[in-house]
Amino acid sequence: MKQSKVWPYLLVLVSGAIWGVTFSIARILTQAGVHPLGLTFWQGFGGGLVLLAICAARSRWPRLTGLHFKFYVILGLLGTALPGALFFYAASHVPAGILAITVTTVPLLTYGGAWLLGIDRFSVKRMSGIAVGLFAILLLVGPETSLPDRSMVFWVLVVLVASLFYTFENIYVAVRVPGGTDMIALLAGMLLVAGLLILPLVLSLNAFASFHYPWGKIEWLMLAMMVISSLAYGMFLLAIQMAGPVFASQTAYVVTLSGVLWGILLFNESHSVWVWLALGSMLSGLALVTPTQRQTA
């Protein structure tokens, strides 16, 4: 296999593997007492600083026009501030592996929303994928013995609401953001603005997460969350650029599987047979919803 053909595979595998660990990092940090809103601020503003450094290296900066600032505000709210806060609130209550399975509803919901808005064609196969994905959620929240504690059902539903916001973000990018926009620069601006938007609430609730010197486990993990989230997203965008959206969409499989595996490795999580059936159903739903190359064209 030529080197040029190897890179997309490496990007998908590496970005998916490191993206998957963020579920466990979020759980560690929130259980250690880091406020979910403080963590949301650093994921946004700190992640934006990481991408800003990449923009500097590429000499392609976020644009500061009124139109682009509108994008930053809307995407910052839909893609970071609102879903991030919900996700981090749920992280201390739900095992990392279940978080990974639940968030995988985003590509399924994105197709459903795109079809409803008339920006994607109806497909029996892909609608079947949505049905299978919803069945996976029922397997998580329905049976009495599925989750370790029935109180987790509420938090699984909270993560689903977060997934809806991520879905709105995806659709807004598809409908409103002009083709040819530098997505890394757009992402940098979006993350920075998201952090600034949520900062007043963070300060008013005394939820700011400070970096104390000398750094301990908490500080290093918060830095890891910022860097991993930003770099994984950047690698995902690069995979789209190199191999197209169909190939890059396979990242979702890697993220889900690695999220479950990291939870087992770091928390020694064990799951009921219902959770494993839900994982299989969710991956099957993804396989049905993922477009073919012909559909993408």
In-domain check, residue 18: no
Query: CA nearest 100: which of 276, 244, 287?
Result: 276
Q: Does residue 8 fall inside a structural domain? A: no
pLDDT in tens, 116-171: 888 888 889 989 999 999 999 999 999 988 999 999 999 999 999 999 999 998 88
User: Is 143 part of a structural domain of the chain?
Assistant: yes
Instruction: Report yes or no on 3 lying in a domain.
Output: no
281 located within any domain: yes
Does residue 289 fall inside a structural domain? yes
How many domains is the chain built from?
A: 1
State phi, psi for 32 to the nearest 5 degrees: -80, -5
pLDDT at 158: 96
> Is 280 inside any structural domain?
yes
Answer for the pair 149, 92: CB distance below 8 angstroms, yes or no: no
pTM: 0.90
Residue 19: inside a domain: no
Return d(Cα 42, Cα 51) in angstroms, integer: 13
Containing structural domain, residue 147: 34-206+216-296
pLDDT for the residue 4: 62
- Cβ density class 9-42: b for 16+ within 10 Å, e for less: eebbbbbbbbbbbbbbbbbbbbeeebbbbbbbbb
